[in-house]
Amino acid sequence: MNMESIALQISQDRKPLSTMADSELPHRPKPEAQDASAPAAEGETKNASKNALKKAAKDKAKAEKAAARVAQEKAQAASQEANDTAKDLYGALPETEDVVPSTRFSELSEEHYEKEVTIVARVDNARVQSAKLAFLMLRQQGQKVQAVIAAAEPISRQMIKYTGGLNVNSIVQVTGIVKKPEIPISSASISHLEIHIRKVYMISEAAQMLPMQVKDAERPPPENTEEGAQVDAEGAPIVTLKTRLDNRVLDLQTETSQAITWISSGVSELFAEYMIKSGSRWISTPKLVGAATEGGSGVFEVKYFKRNAYLAQSPQLYKQMCIAGDMENVFEIAPVFRAEDSNTHRHLTEFSGLDFEKTFRGHYHEVLEFAEDLLVFILTQLKERYASQIATIQKSYPKAGDFKLPKDGKALRMNYMDGVALLKEAGVDVSEQENFENDFSTAMEKQLGQIIREKYDTDFYVLDKFPMSVRPFYTKADPKDKRFSNSYDFFMRGEEIMSGAQRINDIKELEESMRAKGLEPNQEGFEDYLNAFRQGCAPHAGGGLGLNRIVMFFLGLPNVRLASLFPRDPQRLRP
């Protein structure tokens, strides 16, 4: 082959190679067409990926360690539980239909020494002394008993730790042996015994943080009402009245509050007992009424479907209608509502009323004497039947034990103007009272109470024959002197607890009295009441006692709210 042929062959062989390069080889951009930032971005992405991988590796290692720790703890717990000789003696209350008989604190005595008892109580305090020793202070309706738990077969350290870590205020069931402590336990109400725990089960666990501690509420509230961080001389928190009432359920758990509520219960019970023994009938009158019959400014208005209704200020008109219905002797224990914007120590917008109404044959003093004997009975029996509760209250409120009753068992009674004269002798300006312009002020009542206590040695007395100008329309005027009325008020420690009177039972006289007081007999709400007297009604009298005030003044409490379960006043609608 000559040189021309060789050259031609080479040229033909190169042409397909060139065509393949154009169509099959990957395209590479020209260096000048590439983004100058591309290499930097690629580097950052690589770094970010490395960091993410490192973090993921760290997180994984942490998670593996945590999982291993949890597994180890579970294994230890399982091992401890397996080795816990007391695992069935504490913890959640076992589910069973068998009820273990329990003993109340009030039943505990020396007869229980060295015997096993089961009690249900709240945890007032819990503390671990050591790995082998813990203490509980148990509380039941204010009373306290100490319990102790020590490591000794079958009691385990785990059980001791559990017992000492119980949340305060939790309700527990404790079984143990009653022992006599070497030294009386001063911090316990029942100081001459303690319980050595054998079993402890949770019935109801309290929250770890409470809005206030019951032990702090056991001290009486300060005399001033200012809120804030207050502590006593020992640095312990002072719980104010507002804080107590805001957390009333906790406050009710104190020994003092428990005792006060027993006194309240006792007043109602004794009132009902006396009335029933006298042949009286227990009634329930409406609290929703269609008209503000006893004064529009002092009633609460409520929506009653498509019209307005009112909360009853008292059962007065209905008691009288019952008398007209030949029931002769009736009583009621029920709420009373007063829309009075009075923010005082003795006023509430809702309180418990003890009302009665009774016929008489000759003179209204028959009923007045009946009411005096009723109050003397209640106050005397409170001292006898509730001596232990009074002693408890006296620790916080010293006046609780010093209420003075008439020595001869008869209430001191004097006329209203005799009370005015006593105040005048003491230098008090009584010109408004002498002119029948105003009733006694609160300050006058208190001063008169002090005068009578010093002069007659009693905290309970009655004023009779009030001026007609300060009494309601249904009050009977004194037939001998129309300026006065056949009405009376009862006082304890110089403050009113009851208002009562003979009622007008003649329809014409009643209508005249209404007009004299600025009321029209034909106005809404009086029709049914007045019709009762048109049918004839026996002479009668009665009164309305304030339960909360009786408790307050009998115990010498500084505020009526302390004698009310869940008080209502112009500032309070909860709890």
- 347 given a catalytic annotation: yes
φ, ψ for residue 70, nearest 5 deg: -60, -45
Cβ neighbour number for residue 167 with a 10 Å cutoff: 15
What pLDDT was estimated at residue 7? 44
Contact indicator for 348, 336 with CB cutoff of 8 Å: no
Of 45-54, 220-229, 376-385, 437-446, the poorest mean pLDDT is in: 220-229
| From 122, 139, 244, 346, the catalytic residue | 346
Rounded CA-CA distance 46/42 in Å is 6
**What is the arithmetic mean of pLDDT over 512-519?**
91
| From 116, 205, 269, 340, the catalytic residue | 340
What is the residue-averaged pLDDT of the chain?
87
Residue 79 pLDDT exceeds 90: no
Residue 221 pLDDT exceeds 80: no
**What is the arithmetic mean of pLDDT over 57-65?**
84
Residue 75 pLDDT exceeds 80: no
**What is the arithmetic mean of pLDDT over 442-467?**
94
Tens of pLDDT, residues 316-354: 999 999 999 999 999 999 999 999 888 888 889 999 999
Tens of pLDDT, residues 106-159: 999 989 999 999 999 999 999 999 989 999 999 999 899 999 999 888 889 999
Residue 195 pLDDT exceeds 80: yes
- 338 given a catalytic annotation: yes
| From 280, 487, 499, 564, the catalytic residue | 499
In terms of Cα–Cα distance, which of 333, 326, 350 is closest to 283?
333
Tens of pLDDT, residues 420-430: 999 999 999 99
**What is the arithmetic mean of pLDDT over 536-557?**
95
Residue 18 binned pLDDT confidence (cut-offs 50, 70, 90): very low
| From 294, 495, 496, 511, the catalytic residue | 496
Residue 315 pLDDT exceeds 90: yes
What pLDDT was estimated at residue 424? 93
DSSP H/E element including 144:
strand 143-150
Tens of pLDDT, residues 23-36: 444 555 555 444 54
Q: Mind spelling out the 3-state secondary structure of 278-337? A: CCCEECCCCCEECCCCCCHHHCCEEEECCEEEEECCCCHHHHHHHHHCCCCEEEEEEEEE
DSSP category for residue 523: S
**What is the arithmetic mean of pLDDT over 486-504?**
95
Residue 502 pLDDT exceeds 50: yes
**What is the arithmetic mean of pLDDT over 219-225?**
70
Structural domains in the chain, sorted by start: 101-204 (2.40.50.140), 257-563 (3.30.930.10)
Residue 17 pLDDT exceeds 50: no
| From 248, 347, 413, 572, the catalytic residue | 347
Determine the length of the chain: 575
DSSP category for residue 565: S
Tell me how far apart the terminal alpha carbons of the chain are, to the nearest angstrom. Answer: 121
Any long-range contacts for 515-518 (C-beta under 8 Å, 24+ apart)? 516/473, 517/472, 517/473
What pLDDT was estimated at residue 63? 85
Structure tokens given for 145: 């008993």
Tens of pLDDT, residues 287-301: 999 888 765 458 999
Place of tokens 């418990």: 352
What pLDDT was estimated at residue 213? 87
**What is the arithmetic mean of pLDDT over 435-447?**
90
| From 471, 540, 549, 561, the catalytic residue | 549
What pLDDT was estimated at residue 46? 64
Residue 476 pLDDT exceeds 80: yes
Rounded CA-CA distance 218/444 in Å is 33
Contact indicator for 310, 301 with CB cutoff of 8 Å: yes
Computed on alpha carbons and rounded to an integer, the radius of gyration of the chain in Å comes to 41
**What is the arithmetic mean of pLDDT over 341-369?**
94
What percentage of residues in the chain have a pLDDT greater than 70? 87
- 346 given a catalytic annotation: yes
| From 122, 338, 471, 503, the catalytic residue | 338
